[in-house]
Structures are given as C-alpha cells and as structure tokens.
C-alpha cells in the first residue's frame, strides 16, 4: 500500500516536472521569437509591410465582396418584374391573381398598385412637368392594375412567363394592351443585367484569390530570408541537440508577431480609407452603408479575425519555409 502511494506520488512529481519543462521551453521560444522580431529592424519592417499588404488585400476583398453583393441585390430589386391587369379588375379579382402568383417557387413577394395609386404616383413623379400633368388630365385611357413582383433569381423568369401564358385564373384579367415587363425586349435587358452582375461577382472572387496567393508567396519568401539570415544560429542549435519543435518555435512566434502588428496596421488603414471613400462610393450608387455599419458594430471582431488570419498565414509560411528550405 505504501509502495503504491510512493509510486503514485513519484508519477505525479514526474508529470509536474515535465509540464514545468514544457512551460519553460514555451516561454523561451516566445522570448526568442520576440527577440528575433526586434533584432533586425529592416527585415522586421519588410516582413511586417508585406504581411500588412496581404491582410489589407484580404480586408478590401471581403469588404468589396459584401458591397458588391449589396449593390447587386439593390440593382436586382430595382429591376421591374410587373404584370398588368385590366383597369376594371376588382380588388377581389386582383387578390386572386396575387394568390396564384405567390404559389410560384420563383416569386418572393408581390406588391399591388391599383389604378388610383398608379395615377397618384405618376403625378407625384412628374409634378414639375406641366405638360405631363396636362396630358394625364386630358387622357382618356386609365392606368391598369400593376402587380410588382420580386423574384428569387432575375435570371429565371420561366415560371412567370408560363404563368402569363397559361394560368387560367389570371388570364381573364390580364391587360391585353400591355406586355409583362419581363417579356420581349425588356426581358433581354433584365437578362443582360443579371449576366453582368454574375460576371462582376466571379471576376472579383478570382482577382481577390490571385492577390492573396501572390501576397502569401511574398510572405513565404520574406520569412525564408529571415531563416536564411540566421542559418548559422540554427545549425548551432542542431549541433547541441535542440529539438525540431524548439528550433521552429521562435520562427512561428516571430511570424505570429508579424501577423499581429500587420493586422493592426491593415485594419487601421482599411477603416481610414473606407471612411474617406464612403461618400464617393455612395455618390456612384454602391450599396456601402450596410457594410460600413457592420464594420463599425463588429470592429473588435474584425480586428480579432484579422489577427487570426495574419497568424495563420505567418505560421503556414514559416512551417513551409523551415521544412522545405532548411530541412530541419
């Protein structure tokens, strides 16, 4: 019984000593890594600058994607998908047609505009044009019912086209003098807008990926240069029996420090540029306000994410450089 307790105590003490050695090793690696960061000022500036550019590219890419999605959605919402009903259609009959439209999977929402509403909106939009107002007063033809439709994908209007051509409930009330807004030449315009939006999104993703890949390659070479600068020191550590993890450790810590400071710089530069660029971006019609609002609310999370991304990029680059070029 006594021997069992002694063995257990000895095992506990051994584990404590091992944990203590591991902790001391970790602290030393951190200290050496921070020391390496401050040892060569020019190398530190170069590595941090390249990492800052990389993180800034990532920041701009993510923000641009969010702004682009918002702008594309805004454009899509402005694209008119309308079906016109006869002026003498009753509200109840219009509601029946709306009910049929909402059954379509491609339809998100339907907004009804009565002839009276259409007339009032027309007058409001052209209140500064006396000729247009006089024409409205003298016109004998009345405004139709307008069903403004929001679809899931403006590329796909096939269900709406089928609805207009064959729906038994809607056909008696459709205005024969007005084609649906997604038919004929207007259909081609809508499809062109959709294709352009999709093309811009694809190009932005490709360009962002290429820029990040190029930046990571530059970081890889910069860290490799830092390792080559201290190759004699590394060889000495290998000769005295240092473990691989202990040799790699300071470089990993150094890379994380690069990522930390680069994240601070990239985030600061990104926020400053975005603040000054927002008025101009709004003036050219981009939907940037929601993105700016999100960045302001979640500024702390954005900075944390940038630090994590910078640390990951630095660690991966450092591991590849030490493994491939120094064969540790």
Return averaged pLDDT per consecutive 10 residues of the chain, 328 residues in all.
59 68 70 68 76 83 77 67 84 87 85 80 65 53 79 76 84 81 60 68 73 70 72 72 71 80 90 86 77 85 88 79 61
How many domains are there within the chain? Answer: 2
In this structure, the answer to whether residues 161 and 56 fall within a common structural domain is no
Residue 7 lies in a domain: no
In this structure, the answer to whether residues 113 and 69 fall within a common structural domain is no
* DSSP-H helix ranges across the chain: 2-39, 41-78, 91-102, 115-125, 130-138, 158-166, 184-229, 231-239, 244-283, 289-297, 299-325
- Quote the Cα angle for 132-134-138, to 5°: 115
Contact 131, 82 (CB under 8 A): no
In this structure, the answer to whether residues 71 and 114 fall within a common structural domain is no
Residue 47 lies in a domain: yes
What local confidence, expressed as pLDDT, does residue 140 receive?
A: 46
3-state SS class at 226: helix
What local confidence, expressed as pLDDT, does residue 11 receive?
A: 67
In this structure, the answer to whether residues 317 and 220 fall within a common structural domain is yes
327 φψ region: left (φ > 0), alpha (ψ -120 to 50), beta (else): left
CA 111 to chain centre: 30
Task: Give whole-number Cα distances, 165 to 84, 161, 175, 208, 305, in Å.
Answer: 13, 6, 12, 44, 52
Q: How many CB atoms lie within 10 A of CB 52?
A: 23
End position of a domain, from candidates 122, 148, 180: 180
What local confidence, expressed as pLDDT, does residue 126 receive?
A: 65
Contact 70, 287 (CB under 8 A): yes
Contacts of 154 (CB under 8 A, 6+ apart): 76, 79, 81, 190, 191, 193, 194
| Tokens 């594309």, located at residue | 72
User: 152 lies in which domain range?
Assistant: 81-180
pTM of the model: 0.63
Residue 168 lies in a domain: yes
In this structure, the answer to whether residues 86 and 65 fall within a common structural domain is no
In this structure, the answer to whether residues 170 and 49 fall within a common structural domain is no
Residue 220 lies in a domain: yes
In this structure, the answer to whether residues 90 and 33 fall within a common structural domain is no
Residue 258 lies in a domain: yes
In this structure, the answer to whether residues 170 and 285 fall within a common structural domain is no
Helix (H) or strand (E) holding 108: strand 107-113
In this structure, the answer to whether residues 203 and 170 fall within a common structural domain is no
| Tokens 């470089």, located at residue | 251
Residue 161: give its domain's CATH number.
Answer: 3.30.70.3040
Residue 3 lies in a domain: no
In this structure, the answer to whether residues 69 and 45 fall within a common structural domain is yes
Q: Round to whole Å and give the CA distance between 185 and 216.
A: 47
Q: Round to whole Å and give the CA distance between 243 and 309.
A: 27
160 φψ region: left (φ > 0), alpha (ψ -120 to 50), beta (else): alpha
């Amino acid at each position: 019984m006594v021997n069992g307790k002694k063995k257990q105590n000895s095992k506990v003490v051994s584990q404590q000593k091992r944990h203590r050695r591991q902790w001391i090793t970790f602290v030393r690696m951190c200290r050496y890594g921070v020391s390496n960061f401050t040892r060569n000022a020019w190398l530190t500036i170069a590595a941090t600058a390249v990492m800052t550019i990389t993180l800034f590219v990532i920041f701009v890419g993510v923000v641009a994607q969010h702004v682009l999605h918002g702008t594309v959605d805004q454009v899509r919402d402005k694209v008119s998908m309308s079906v016109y009903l006869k002026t003498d259609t009753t509200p109840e009959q219009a509601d029946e047609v709306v009910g049929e439209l909402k059954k379509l999977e491609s339809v998100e929402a339907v907004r009804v505009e009565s002839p009276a509403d259409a007339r009032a909106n027309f007058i409001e939009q052209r209140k500064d044009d006396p000729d247009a107002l006089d024409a409205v007063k003298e016109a004998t033809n009345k405004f139709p019912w307008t069903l403004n439709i929001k679809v899931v994908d403006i590329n796909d209007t096939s269900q709406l086209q089928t609805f207009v051509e064959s729906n038994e409930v809607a056909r008696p009330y459709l205005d024969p003098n007005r084609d649906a807004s997604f038919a004929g030449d207007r259909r081609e315009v809508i499809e062109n807008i959709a294709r352009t939006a999709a093309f811009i999104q694809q190009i932005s993703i490709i360009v962002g990926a290429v820029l990040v890949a190029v930046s990571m390659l530059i970081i890889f070479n910069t860290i490799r240069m830092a390792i080559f600068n201290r190759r004699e020191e590394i060889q000495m550590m290998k000769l005295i029996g240092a473990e691989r993890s202990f040799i790699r450790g300071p470089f990993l810590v150094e890379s994380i420090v690069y990522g930390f400071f680069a994240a601070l710089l990239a985030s600061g530069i990104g926020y400053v540029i975005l603040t000054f660029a927002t008025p101009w971006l709004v003036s050219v019609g981009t939907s940037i306000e929601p993105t700016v609002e999100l960045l302001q609310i979640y500024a702390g999370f954005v900075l944390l994410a940038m630090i994590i991304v910078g640390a990951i990029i630095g660690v991966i680059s450092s591991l590849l450089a030490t493994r491939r070029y120094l064969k540790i």
